[in-house]
Structure 1
Amino acid sequence: MTRISQDREELHRAVEAFLFMEARLQDTHDYDGWESLWEDDAIYWVPANGGDIDPEEKMSFIYDNRSRIRIRMDQLKTGRRHTQTPRSELARIVSNVEIEEIDGAEVTARANVLIFEENLRGETLWAARNEYRLRLVDGAFRLVRKKVALVNAHKPIYTLSFLV
């Protein structure tokens, strides 16, 4: 592990580049590439009932540890996920990236994300306020925690595959 540079502009560019790359992996259904971004102690969380709930007490759409992330990716790769036959076409726009905290080799960041999903049901725009905890490992960022607070979570959600 390496300490994060205190040069805020350089750090901001590096975090943005990582978030853009993560979005590309999701949009292109590169499940192996996306899964490889996660650390062993990772948590991926998508709250169901607002962003400030306790995931241990209230229901979540997704509350996965590293093992569950791997299982989810393996399931998607089988080709037997009928909600993804044919699979959704996706395009994400990541914006408003902010660095919140630097703690040794970890950085906390926020970003707004707009996800365009097109599938047999039509087109849907999903908006989210994402929070990230990134860890610098051997000169590259890795995901430790990701929280996706869907702005329009009240809409029917037929599949969570767009959240990969």
Structure 2
Amino acid sequence: MSVAIKEESPASAESLGALSPLELQHAVTQFLYMEARLQDSHAYDEWEALWTEDAIYWVPANGHDIDPERQMSILYDNRSRIGVRIKQLKTGRRHTQTPRSELARIVSNVEIVSVVDNEVKVHANTMIFEDNLRAETVWATRNEYKLRYFDGAFRLAYKKVGLVNNHKPIFTLSFLV
């Protein structure tokens, strides 16, 4: 399934400084909604295209303030590893995703924490409903993002997905969170 990414600059601004706080909030929220839609619809190539070359995608385990270089994480991917993860998902040979999970997520509590030059630090919460052959699961997350604005669009430079229950065993988390 191919999903087109709508390439519009926020309020046609050439820089983040040209946006009012309300315009920036709207543009950031719309970007996060689009990312959620791409994940839920398994639009892997389009989702992968959202990432910068120096990106970090991190899901900590056993707490939220761990050091991913020294302690175990559910995943800690750089840009190259994000690409490998996408290739694996697209093979159709991941038994936990055969058939693929049906996903629906709600993004809420979008808070702009800071804006420095062309980067926006954002916090948001997500509820992800997953339906598959095994069960129905609701995943709750507290996310941190660093969005980088260039060439008239936001890109993901950093995404930390803090599963609320990451202190418990996670049996199958085999989709994009």
Separation in 1 of the partners of 2:58 and 2:15?
Answer: 26
Match of 1:106 in 2: 119
**RMSD value over aligned CA atoms?**
1.2
Give the aligned partner of residue 94 of structure 2.
81
Distance 1:50 1:4 in 2: 33
How far is 1:160 from its partner?
Answer: 2.4
Q: Is the 8 A contact 2:62 2:168 kept in 1?
A: no
- State the TM-score, normalizing by the size of structure 1: 0.95
Which residues in structure 2 correspond to 1:8-157 (within 5 Å)? 8-157=21-170
CA apart distance, 1:4: 1.1
User: Where does the alignment leave 5 or more consecutive residues of structure 2 unmatched?
Assistant: 1-13
Deviation of 1:159 (Å) = 2.6
Calculate percent identity across the aligned residue pairs: 69
Q: Number of aligned residue pairs: give it.
A: 163
Q: Could you tell me how far apart the structure 2 residues matched to 1:156 and 1:24 are?
A: 27
* CA distance in 1 between partners of 2:97 and 2:23 (Å): 38
Per the alignment, residue 3 of structure 1 pairs with 15
1:155 Cα offset (Å): 4.3
Q: Distance in 2 between matches of 1:29 and 1:55?
A: 27
TM-score by length of 2: 0.89
* CA distance, structure 2, for counterparts of residue 156 and residue 123 of structure 1: 16
Tell which deviates more after alignment, 146-155 or 60-69.
146-155
5+ residue gaps, structure 1, are: none
Distance, in Å, in 2 between the alignment partners of 1:3 and 1:51 is 32
Q: Give the whole-Å Cα distance in 2 for the aligned partners of 1:105 and 1:98.
A: 17
